[in-house]
Structure 1
């Protein structure tokens, strides 16, 4: 799940933080704690953007109203 373009940072976790991340990892079906940290960061960013813009996702292309000929 981790993007190959992202830089790598080490985060030191205490036992309680590691246990919490492991619970989230299992609940979301993620492979690693690193994937869990990325998922949580992206989820928080999405929620922050939603609070600012009032929209859940970014702009989308609007499909035309009829069938193509």
Structure 2
């Protein structure tokens, strides 16, 4: 498998009100496009979902003795 990202685009039809919300988020987060906002929001939601399921903010970490990598 290639190291390149596989990107698939889908068209999402937005109402004017929805587009205005996405535009406010875009400006607040300093993103380049509404498409970037959609991706950013999806990632945030996935992170929160994982945190809810695992009780941790990040993925599992390798446990080392003495707190130092071996």
The alignment's TM-score, normalised by the length of structure 2, stands at 0.80
Structure 1 segments, 4+ long, off by >6 Å, are none
Which runs of no fewer than 5 residues in structure 1 stay unpaired? none
User: What RMSD in Å do the two structures reach over aligned CA positions?
Assistant: 2.1
How many residues matched? 66
The equivalent residue for 2:10 is: 9
The alignment's TM-score, normalised by the length of structure 1, stands at 0.81
Distance in structure 2 (CA, Å) of the matches to 1:31 and 1:38: 12
**Per chain length, whose mean CA-contact separation is higher, i.e. which structure has more relative contact order (CA < 8 Å, sep 6+)?**
1
Which runs of no fewer than 5 residues in structure 2 stay unpaired? none
1:36 aligns with 2:29: no
